[in-house]
Amino acid sequence: MPVLNRVADLQPEIMAWRHDIHRFPELQYDVERTAEFVAARLREFGCDEVVTGIGRTGVVGVIRGAKPVGNGDLKVVGLRADMDALPIEEETGLPYASTVPGKMHACGHDGHTAMLLGAARYLAETRNFAGTAVVIFQPAEEGGAGAAAMLDDGLVERFGIEQFYGMHNGPGIPVGAFAISEGPIMAATDSIDIRIEGLGGHAARPHMCIDSVLVGTQLINALQTIVSRNVDPLEAAVISICEFHAGNARNVIPHTAELKGTVRTLTSEVRDLLEKRIRDVVAGVAQVTGAKIELTYERGYPVLVNHAPQSDVARRVARDVAGDSNVVAMPPMMGAEDFAYMLEKRPGAFIFLGNGDSAGLHHPAYNFNDDAIVFGTSYWIKLIESQLAAS
């Protein structure tokens, strides 16, 4: 059976929630309005518990099934959506476009939140499962590690969560299709900040200086040899230096320079290797040039690793919703996603939901596709009803 009839009936309402959230985008942990909206809906639906303020502005709804739980059955499953928007000026021209200058829902978290609310409504209404569904609405997915903040606040322990499932819309994947693979599918993302202190001076007297610009270029070149010469060519890795700041006059060799970049990897071994080699290269260039080079290497989101058994579950449920031919394999991506923290704590799976031929994520013309709502919402419901089926 494909999309649930009841979900098709709920679609206009879920879409209206999405448009409301879309109008008032909020960033990072400052998702007060969205969190209030979510908590109010969850209370209306009659969730058994609605807890706010987890991970600062995260919201959790607890829905207990009506069927008895058997011994040894899975008891508690967590479904996660994200609520935050991005610091981008919206250029969609939509009637429900952002009303907040410089902020927009350009990653579809408005859609994720609305779909999970739709599922919560259905599950609270029907309760046709055993055990407990925990619906999780997190802040600060976009670089703020909101998932980690909720875990630090005892998300797993307080609600007894045994498995986590997440979903993200995927532009380029047809509406009505899903994409998933087991294993590492999204990258760990680390940041590097480099401060070079050379010796400034007159542009015409370079021999009296240590040119921080030249040191910076040598460093960038040397860093680019790490992926090409140190990493196994069959492994994935990215080092991108995206900022280089130095100087403010054409005739002055600048005393200092600053570089900033990002490091992406799909395994902890390659991640460790890159960090070590970056430290070595920085030390080596400092020695060769005589500059002082300060490196701050900060580890960000971990690799998102889909667990095999739960990926099978997700695939099976997606096929049930979308049909066999509409569930495809997802090649790993070097983007990052903080749902990875949840999958470090408990087994689970992250699936991509087709958003059709839309602008890409984080683009000012991007919009979540309302036609995907019935598929995503049905997926959540069927996931709970099948994973928490009475034995």
The contact set with Zn ion (CB under 5 A) reads 107
Is-catalytic flag, 84? Answer: yes
CB 18 within 8 A of CB 93: no
What's the min distance (Å) between Cβ of 189 and Zn ion?
12
CB 62 within 8 A of CB 132: yes
Radius of gyration of the chain, Cα coordinates, nearest whole angstrom:
24
**Marked catalytic residue, from 82, 84, 162, 385:** 84
Is-catalytic flag, 125? Answer: no
CB 134 within 8 A of CB 76: yes
Nearer to Zn ion, 189 or 218 (CB): 189
**Residue whose pair of structure tokens reads 């990052």 in the numeric block:** 336
What's the min distance (Å) between Cβ of 285 and Zn ion?
33
Nearer to Zn ion, 259 or 330 (CB): 330
143: region left, alpha or beta (phi > 0 left; psi from -120 to 50 alpha): left
- Residue 133 token pair: 């569904």
Nearer to Zn ion, 63 or 107 (CB): 107
- DSSP for residue 331: -
- Residue 51 token pair: 């807890």
**Marked catalytic residue, from 26, 141, 182, 190:** 141
What's the min distance (Å) between Cβ of 194 and Zn ion?
26
Nearer to Zn ion, 214 or 361 (CB): 361
Nearer to Zn ion, 291 or 361 (CB): 361
The angle at the Cα of 262, spanning 260 to 268, to the nearest 5 degrees, equals 140
Residue 180, exposed/middle/buried by CB under 10 A (0-12, 13-18, 19+)?
A: buried
- DSSP for residue 176: T
What's the min distance (Å) between Cβ of 361 and Zn ion?
5
What's the min distance (Å) between Cβ of 7 and Zn ion?
22
Residue nearest Zn ion by beta-carbon distance: 107
Q: Which residues are catalytic?
A: 84, 141
